[in-house]
Amino acid sequence: MTPEKIISDIKKGQFRPVYWLEGEEDFFIDQVIQFAEHKILPESEAGFNLTIFYGRDAAWADVVNACRRYPMFAEKQVVIIKEAQDLKGIEKLEAYVEKPLSSTLLFVAYKGKKVDGRTKLAKLLKEKAVLFTSKKIYDSALPDWTSELVTAKGFSITKKALFLLIDHIGNDLSRLSNEIDKLALNLKNREKITEDDIEQFVGVSKEFNVFELQQAIAQRDLYKAVRIVNYFGSNPKAAPIQLIFPSLYNFFSKVQVVYSVPAKDERSVATALGVNSFFVKDYVSTATRFSYPEIEKILLLLYEYNLRNLGVNDAGTDDAELLKEMVVKMIAPL
């Protein structure tokens, strides 16, 4: 079950009395809750038949009483518990879940955790309710997910713009979605998001960023790499060193895998790396410029300089100097 499937079924009038939304990724839970709050009941009915509780401030008995109430001048009522993980005595809802009212749609947003599978409540939820568990998106899957989100909103995005957006925001799905919405509003009659749009509306330099640094190292372009590092030194907020290390490690660790793939066609490499074939060319081309031992050296340098940044075997070299020293060693041939 996915948030899209839950929403689609509700739109078709295929209702279930209880929707239990749990897990690590708030974005997917919020998708369903936002729909339940704003789209199920027409505005004329919501005033009487929409009840929202917040876990920290609610009592489980009040929730049950609200659920057992019949709708006024309507066929359905909607009851929502936000931040349900903070509701004391939430296990007491099991009596209602066992015998729910068909005219009530109860939505429970149980964020950051899962109901204990050994409890009676968990067993009842599997039997009587829609039980959705949201999981964090792995960083490796983030480009695909973001690209699909852009497409779902009716737009397309260039490869560089996609990487700029992800490098800048990271694994914050709600913020990614909001930034894409903001970009869409500013595109006017265009449908493609470009790196110029990211620079203008998100505030990321299209020339001096982590993606461009990664490309400069991958192309063994020392002049360009040092220019970018110098820019970071003058603009520390543009790319904090703590964000640069994971990004570079993610890229070059994938390059390392390329050497072990027997067939170097895009589909085989994409499968081995767990990425969309759209991104494979960069990994393969980098593997042709560097030998396997050189990629090992790069990964070891990332480990060493991350420790130095944390103060291990380093007397306090500033971030820009550390980066510059590391980049020169990465690009230099063995």
Between CA 200 and CA 29 the distance in angstroms is 31
Question: In this model, does residue 30 exceed pLDDT 90?
Answer: yes
Rounded CA separation 9/313 (Å): 58
pLDDT of 26 strictly over 90: yes
Q: Write the pLDDT tens digit of every residue in 283-309.
A: 999 999 999 999 999 999 999 999 999
And the tokens for 162? 């996609």
The per-residue pLDDT for range 43-81, each reduced to its tens digit, is 999 999 999 999 999 999 999 999 999 999 999 999 999
Q: List pLDDT tens digits, range 264-283.
A: 888 888 888 887 777 788 89
Determine the Cα–Cα distance for residues 109 and 59; give it in Å rounded to an integer.
Answer: 15
Sheet strands (E) in 118-217: 130-134, 156-157, 192-193
CA atoms lying within 13 Å on the CB side of residue 256: 14
CA 107 to chain centre: 23
Which residues does 270 contact at the CB level (< 8 Å), separation at least 6? Answer: 276, 277, 279, 280
The predicted model gives 98-121 an average pLDDT of 93
Go through the domains of the chain in sequence order and give each one's CATH number.
3-134 (3.40.50.300), 139-202 (1.10.8.60), 210-331 (1.20.272.10)
Query: What global pTM score does this model have?
Result: 0.76
Dmax of the chain from CA atoms?
Answer: 78
pLDDT of residue 225: 95
Backbone conformation region of residue 90, classed left if phi is above 0, alpha if psi is from -120 to 50, else beta: alpha
Q: Residue 271's pLDDT is what?
A: 85
DSSP assignments along 255-307, one per residue = HHHHTT-S--SHHHHHHHHTS-GGGHHHHHHHHHHS-HHHHHHHHHHHHHHHH
